Amino acid sequence: MKNPSRLFLLVFTAWTCVTAQEPQPFDRLVYHGKPRPLAKDAVTSDWPRVLGPTDDAKSPETHLLKKWAYGEPRPVWEVQMGEGYNSPAISGDSCVIFHALDGKETIECLHRETGSRFWDHAYPISYQDRYGFGSGPRGSPVIADGIVVTYGVTGELRALELKTGKLLWKHDLLAEMHVPQDFFGAGGTPLILDGKVILNVGGKKNAIDDAEGLRDRKERLAEAGVSVAAFDLKSGEIVWKVEDAWGASYASPIPAMLHGQLKVLVYAGGESDPATGGLMCIDPASGKLHSKFPWRDDEYIQAIGTSPVVIPDKNRAFITTAYPKGRPLGGVMVEYDADFQPKEVWQSKKLGVHWMNPVYHDGHLYAIDGETEPKSRLVCVNADTGKEVWEQKVEWEDPALSRELGRANPVRLSILRASLIHADGAFLCLGEVGSLHWLDLSPEGVKIISEAQPFYALNTWSLPALSHGLLYVRQQAKDLMQKTGERIICLDLRGD
């Protein structure tokens, strides 16, 4: 070797490029400016999975900005995105987004305060939503132990190294476990727990051809297959499988402490005729199926979107659906005995939630009841009895939008099927047309603390993510005023 020192320099340079990448600006990024510094005593947290650090749409963050002046909350950065209905995941300095762009499912790791990109990973997909909604992923990325896991709309389960974007392992579950397309493709968000990736797979014993006869298709959908599976986080090897006919919903498995033991609750139920599904209680270590609680009408078209809501210290869980249309099944509270067998505590047809998760707080459930926009209403329900405490529509007039649309009379807006996050003693509410509110919700009613309109866009359906005083919001349709397309926006919520 003529110049060993040069060889060492090349190897060292290559190693540092892999292990210590610096984020770089890119063409889809617009940077607006630095956020405020965090308050001295601010409590901060990551948002590593779809419902936040405690899997219940709650955040421990404090010292958040609650009174907004004109132009607040101020945007820090924004990135144009492709199709998808999901939330970002934040861990440390990394903000991971997942979407379909130019015919590829694309995973990108951005710097959470600047939007600059550490790395991206993409692979081609072929998917067309049968109902005409976007053809991007429904499941959100999840981060744990330095690994990012995603589950795509065609059944691609992938694990990447968070620092570098290196592909660690993958499974094509459409091919391996015969996952059917279902109503809107594959779409559940995985749960990472104790080194396992737990997923409501909804597979069948045999492949399902969408072109085959209706009777054959119905028989195949009714077959048992891999309903839930656990994969080793580091290797991707299958750890255990639960074989059952209940298919895959669009909800995420949720961890629950029941009688002092850690269990996983899965609200399962994919495409089947008649429809089947409900709440499964599974041991996360062994995959033992402790019990099944059916909660599904027999009407064919039902897409479950809400994850189980665990009621701490009561061995209870709440599940809800807005289907079937016109006569929703609603919600049910179940309680588990020491053998993890469920019994119904109460049920209510007045709490049928479509896809946004109810939030449990101080003995009450706060949620948006209603399958369609006109029927949606913000409700408070006593979690012990199921009795509705109040209902309210949060509405206002918007002169600016009226002028833009050329309307003589003021346009009246509503939060409609909004998303809720509890943080810093109040509720953040992201409305379906891009409104943002701080709400004081209690059994006494609703008080509006502040309101803003970061954008005017329909289909704002994904729960935002809150981390280190910054709020990450998905805009999933064209803005009616700014004319911007799909994007993610980082907003500054840092207060004193």
Type of residue numbered 407? R
**Residue 176, helix vs strand vs coil:** helix
So what's the pLDDT on residue 212?
61
DSSP annotation of 271: S
Say which residues have a Cβ less than 8 Å from residue 90's Cβ, sequence separation at least 6. 46, 47, 48, 96, 112, 143, 465, 467, 468, 472
* Measured CA angle at 431 (ends 428, 432), to 5 deg: 150
Q: Annotate 316-337 with DSSP letters as a single string.
A: EEEEEE-PSTTS--EEEEEEE-
Q: How far apart are CA 429 and CA 366, in angstroms?
A: 11
Helix (H) or strand (E) holding 485: none
Say which residues have a Cβ less than 8 Å from residue 61's Cβ, sequence separation at least 6. 42, 43, 44, 45, 423, 424, 466, 467, 468, 469
Q: How far apart are CA 301 and CA 424, in angstroms?
A: 39
Half-sphere exposure of 164 (CA within 13 A, CB side): 11
So what's the pLDDT on residue 9?
35
Q: How far apart are CA 8 and CA 4, in angstroms?
A: 6
Q: How far apart are CA 75 and CA 444, in angstroms?
A: 33
Residues in the chain: 496
As a dihedral over the C-alpha atoms of residue 61, residue 67, residue 70, residue 76, rounded to 10 degrees, the angle is -10
So what's the pLDDT on residue 215?
63
Say which residues have a Cβ less than 8 Å from residue 250's Cβ, sequence separation at least 6. 138, 184, 187, 188, 303, 304, 305, 355
Q: pLDDT tens digits, the chain, 496 residues: what are they? A: 444 444 433 333 344 334 458 999 999 999 999 999 999 999 999 999 999 999 999 999 999 999 999 999 999 999 999 999 999 999 999 999 999 999 999 999 999 999 999 999 999 998 888 777 888 999 999 999 999 999 999 999 999 999 999 999 999 999 999 998 888 889 999 999 999 999 999 999 888 766 665 567 777 788 889 999 999 999 999 999 999 999 999 999 999 999 999 999 999 999 888 999 999 999 999 999 999 999 999 988 889 999 999 998 999 999 999 999 888 899 999 999 999 999 999 999 989 999 999 999 999 999 999 988 888 999 999 999 999 999 999 999 998 888 888 888 888 999 999 999 999 999 999 999 999 999 999 999 999 999 999 999 999 999 999 999 999 999 999 998 888 999 999 999 999 9
